[in-house]
Chain A
Amino acid sequence: MKTAALTVTTPSERELVMTREFAAPRGMVFDALTKPELVQRWLLGPPGWTMPVCDIDLRVGGKYRYVWRNADGREMGMGGTFKEMVRPSRLVATESYDDHWTGGETLVTTELVETRGRTTVSTTVRYATREARDAALKMGATKGLEASYVRLDELLTA
Chain B
Amino acid sequence: MKPISYTLDATFAALADPTRRAILARLATGEASVAELAEPFDMTQPAISKHLKVLERAGLISRGREAQRRPRRLEPRPLADATDWIERYRRIWEGNFKRLDAVLQELKHKQKKTIDALLDEVKPKPNKKRRTR
**A→B interface (CB under 8 Å):** 1, 3-4, 6, 8, 10, 12-13, 16, 18, 20, 22-24, 28-29, 31-32, 38, 41-47, 130, 133-135, 137-138, 140-141, 144, 147
What are 6 contact pairs spanning A and B, CB under 8 A? A6-B94, A10-B12, A16-B89, A24-B108, A29-B104, A46-B92
Interface of chain B: mostly helix, strand, loop or mixed: helix
Contact B89 A32 (CB under 8 A): no
Given contacts A42-B102, A137-B8, A137-B85, contact A24 B107 (CB under 8 A): yes
Closest chain B residue, CB of each to CB of A147? B92
CA distance A32 to B99 in the complex (A): 11
- Residue numbers in A under 8 Å from B108 (CB-CB): 23-24, 28
B88 within 8 Å of A by Cβ?
yes
Contact B9 A6 (CB under 8 A): no
Given contacts A3-B101, A41-B99, contact A28 B92 (CB under 8 A): no
CB distance from A51 to the nearest CB of B (A): 11
Chain B 84-120 interface residues, beta-carbon cutoff 8 Å to A: 84-86, 88-105, 107-108, 111
Chain B 32-73 interface residues, beta-carbon cutoff 8 Å to A: none
CA distance A10 to B72 in the complex (A): 26
Contact A140 B89 (CB under 8 A): yes
CA distance A28 to B96 in the complex (A): 17
CB distance from A1 to the nearest CB of B (A): 7
B16 within 8 Å of A by Cβ?
yes
Given contacts A6-B90, A46-B92, contact A140 B103 (CB under 8 A): no
CA distance A6 to B98 in the complex (A): 10
- Residue numbers in A under 8 Å from B6 (CB-CB): 134
Contact A137 B4 (CB under 8 A): yes
Contact B12 A13 (CB under 8 A): yes
- Residue numbers in B under 8 Å from A1 (CB-CB): 101, 105
B127 within 8 Å of A by Cβ?
no
Contact B86 A144 (CB under 8 A): no
- Residue numbers in A under 8 Å from B13 (CB-CB): 13
B3 within 8 Å of A by Cβ?
yes
